[in-house]
Amino acid sequence: MQESRLKLPPLNALRTFEAAARHLGFNKAAEELFVTPAAVSRQIKVLEAYFGVALFKRTHRSIELTEAGMLLQPTATHALQQLASVSEALVQRRHRGYLTLAISSAFAQLWFMPRFASLNQLYPELQLHMLSREGNPSLDEEFDAAVFLGQPQSPRYVAEYLFSEEVFPVCTPRFLDQHPEVATLEGLSQVTLVDLSARHWASQLWTPIDWDFWFEAVGIERQRGHREMQFSQFSMMIDAVRQDIGIGLAWRHLVEPQLASGELVRPLEERYMAKERCHYLVYDRRRANSPDIQALSEWLLAETAPLRE
């Protein structure tokens, strides 16, 4: 058998040396590698025996790199970093050729999907596996990125601010023609108010923004009038508004296309700016330099820029 022309040192010993050299300490290297300081010392001795030179100067309380150690360290660090990078890329390519994106069902249906062609045209190599649900995903779930309402309290994740919520009444132009009174705050109580139910808000873990909340936020006392209808999903509620069932509370980011086309209108200018209800793009800090994450981040930040104005 032909002998390999690569004369490599013991790789486990080299990995141990790189950690000890980076920390200038056997104890910290042991913590990083989940071994004992004695095991680190043994691996260093194996490597020193292989090269026939001392790699560290040992004193009673500290260690220092020798000239040979200083020569070896940058090469060892660079080689191991490159190997780790290529290894991660190969594992991801083998096991997951797509990016898992977790978003709420309303955001998926009413904001994301109408813009999906734009994303696909700009980044045709980006393959998405979309998971939709009511509310935020658990941080224990398997996802690569997510659009969160609220900033997750975990150092593991990067959170990039996208926008805060803006809430106002909407109806169809036909409904406004038939009920011109809804152009005033007082007139809203004279028609059917379409709302999201307690079931919807229970999944959000936030204070409900319903009609009672909205009237209080804009500074008037709600007058009980005609009937109220409730739905467990925003998309169902907006469908009821489209069918002229009544007037509904809408979130700007979810109804911009309908407002732009004229399918829906804002009968009055009053609005509630929910600045505390911030939406973030969230992803694992270890994947921050992933081309897929960077592409998704650039696109989301560009598409949500008008909502930050």
DSSP states of 110-145: IIIGGGHHHHHHH-TT--EEEEEESSPPPTTS--SE
Instruction: Please check whether the domain covering 99-162+277-295 is classified as CATH 3.40.50.10480.
Output: no
pLDDT of residue 270: 93
pLDDT of residue 88: 62
Domain boundaries, the chain: 11-95, 99-162+277-295, 164-275
- Residues 6+ away with beta carbon under 8 Å from 77: 18, 21, 22
Strands 99-104 and 145-149 come out as parallel
pLDDT of residue 92: 56
pLDDT of residue 13: 93
pLDDT of residue 153: 79
The topology (CATH level 3) of 11-95 is: Arc Repressor Mutant, subunit A (1.10.10)
Instruction: Please check whether the domain covering 164-275 is classified as CATH 3.40.190.10.
Output: yes
Residues of the chain where predicted confidence (pLDDT) is lower than 70? 1-5, 85-97, 199-206, 225-226
In whole angstroms, what is the distance from residue 271 CA to residue 297 CA?
Answer: 29
Same fold for the pair 11-95 and 164-275: no
